[in-house]
Structure 1
Amino acid sequence: MARDHRLSRHRARVIAATVAALTVGGSALAEASASAAGKPKGHDVSSHQKNVDWQSARTKGARFVYVKATESHTYRNPYFDQQYNGAREVGILHGAYHFALPDRSSGTAQAAHFVRNGGAWRADGWTLPPALDVEYNPYGRNKCYGLTKAGMVTWIKAFSDEVRRRTGRRPVIYTTTHWWNTCTGSSRAFGANHALWLARYDSATAGALPAGWSLWTFWQYDNSGSLPGDQNLFNGSTAQLQKLAEG
């Protein structure tokens, strides 16, 4: 769909190797595979999933979810409230994500729109850090949105700085290794203080990491499965996942 492209982008291309990384409580998390036992299971949803049956998702093992809140500086997921609040009501940790369109407006403007429309973090023990989804352009041929490598790094930094200013937390960055290395010039500017969220399918391992990270935090390993939307793992224990939510 023009406004919520999750399904079409998965059908349109095979996602390149991606990775996410984080240090929780000062301790590096160990790498895992999609079949690793004991890794908390989760998913991410958008308006494509509409009203989610959250009790069913919980019963099937969901322990966390990321919900699409916004895109660019104008769009808000019309199902966001049902999805975001519904997850919390059944005991699933929830977080919000923003789909970046860096050719539409500044990183600062999009971060402000995101935080105003679902991306605000709460120190309630249930809210995961806000997340930035930055990847291939679903609306045009220019996969880097017409920005130079330095311009893309500047855009992401502006988004991150504004999210931190408004919420106190740095955003998780969702990306693919190929996109990141192509469109940011293999920037290492974010690995030290941003968790990363991997998207890599048809593989038993996370694969090559984008520049700047040595470990992943969330791994989106399939776009369908037992849970609504995309399937994810957290690279740590349930206690570490809880700690991430606590800040």
Structure 2
Amino acid sequence: MLRARSDHRRRRRPRRPRRTFGLLCALLTAAALTSGAAQAAPGVPRAAPLLDPRDPDGAWAGYSVEGTGSPRSLPAGGVAGMDVSGHQGDVDWAKAWADGARFAYVKATEGTGFRNSSFAQQYAGSHQVGMIRGAYHFALPDRSSGAEQANFFVDNGGGWSRDGRTLPGALDIEYNPYGEACYGLDPVAMSRWIADFSNTYHARTGRFPVIYTTTNWWNRCTGANPDFAPNNPLWIARYGPQLGQLPAGWGFHTIWQHSDRGPLPGGQDVFNGDLQQLRRFIS
């Protein structure tokens, strides 16, 4: 949602500019930027602040931050993970662990009528070998409301618990595989649908969902809406050696799906930090 900028008013130029005036302007500008960044989407409850990417002990340590000019690529300390759906069937989790995966996202639901028939084996199996795991929901915004789909997701494996082993549920929202790219919704309606899902999931679990998306789809179908970044961690999908531009609103990401082929079944993911920082993120 676009926010109106404050009006600029003319003021006299002092004959002798003082250094204190420049310092005051800088302080006021910084305060305004801080205030604007703290605003959440209308109707979206405020979450606890996400870990600061500038914090050397935060979950994004070791990654370049938007605007630094540094390439965004896989860091040496990133935690490898994977995501699977019914397409992978029963997964050999012991082998996935041996191949380096330490976390996994498992598809649970789609819309309000589809459940992954392999969910039990995949979700329980990843947990049994020691992985941190979570569930994701594939959104179909043209079929039912965000609230209905969030409730269906939570009721069918998509919940979250503060057990130190569970990732917050994820909303997979991307190009429509069954029809029009943006599901027939304009950017305002799409943003409201996502907020409806996010708010409902938060009300049911106490956590806001991670949002999985691509930069192209998000900017096209939400109108580059920046209001979700304060609450919803970003799981960005981009296949290639570098992360590239992030969806509008996010200055950093939490998980990067960088390929759909590799040593692990399903999507190849990396968490933006080390294992200790991943545990901080899920707590």
TM-score range, shorter chain: 0.7 to 0.9
Gaps of 5+ in 2: 1-48, 65-71
> After superposition, what is the alpha-carbon deviation per residue over 1:43-91, rounded to whole angstroms, capped at 9, x for unaligned?
0000011000001000110010000000001101000010001000000
| Partner of residue 245 from structure 2, selected from 208, 228, 233 | 208
Q: Whole-Å Cα distance in 2 between the matches of residues 25 and 231 of structure 1?
A: 25
| Partner of residue 134 from structure 1, selected from 173, 178, 181 | 173
1:24 CA drift (Å)? 2.7
Which protein, 1 or 2, shows the higher relative CO under an 8 Å CA cutoff with sep ≥ 6?
1
Determine the structure 2 residue equivalent to 1:172.
210
Q: Whole-Å Cα distance in 2 between the matches of residues 159 and 88 of structure 1?
A: 26
Determine the structure 1 residue equivalent to 2:264.
227
SS at match of 2:108: strand
Q: Whole-Å Cα distance in 2 between the matches of residues 88 and 99 of structure 1?
A: 22
| Partner of residue 102 from structure 2, selected from 58, 63, 78 | 63
> After superposition, what is the alpha-carbon deviation per residue over 1:2-50, rounded to whole angstroms, capped at 9, x for unaligned?
xxxxxxxxxxxxxxxxxxxx93378462426554212100000000110
How does the TM-score come out when normalised to structure 2? 0.76
4+ aligned runs moved over 6 Å, structure 1:
none
> Which has the larger share of strand?
1
| Partner of residue 220 from structure 2, selected from 162, 173, 182 | 182
How does the TM-score come out when normalised to structure 1? 0.87
What is the RMSD computed on CA atoms of the aligned residues? 1.4
Deviation larger for 236-245 or 84-93: 236-245
Q: Whole-Å Cα distance in 2 between the matches of residues 34 and 84 of structure 1?
A: 29
Question: Residue 117 in 1 paired to residue 156 in 2?
Answer: yes
Q: Whole-Å Cα distance in 2 between the matches of residues 92 and 34 of structure 1?
A: 24
SS at match of 1:150: helix
The letter for the 2-side match of 1:164 is: H
Q: Whole-Å Cα distance in 1 between the matches of residues 276 and 51 of structure 2?
A: 10
SS at match of 2:102: strand
Determine the structure 2 residue equivalent to 1:24.
51
SS at match of 2:246: coil
Q: Is the CA contact 1:45–1:67 (under 8 Å) kept in the aligned structure 2? A: yes
Q: Is the CA contact 1:43–1:232 (under 8 Å) kept in the aligned structure 2? A: yes
Identity percentage over the alignment? Answer: 53
Q: Whole-Å Cα distance in 1 between the matches of residues 251 and 161 of structure 2?
A: 28
Q: Is the CA contact 1:39–1:237 (under 8 Å) kept in the aligned structure 2? A: yes
Determine the structure 1 residue equivalent to 2:279.
242
The letter for the 1-side match of 2:220 is: T
How many residues in Structure 1 have an aligned counterpart in Structure 2? 223
Q: Whole-Å Cα distance in 2 between the matches of residues 239 and 35 of structure 1?
A: 17
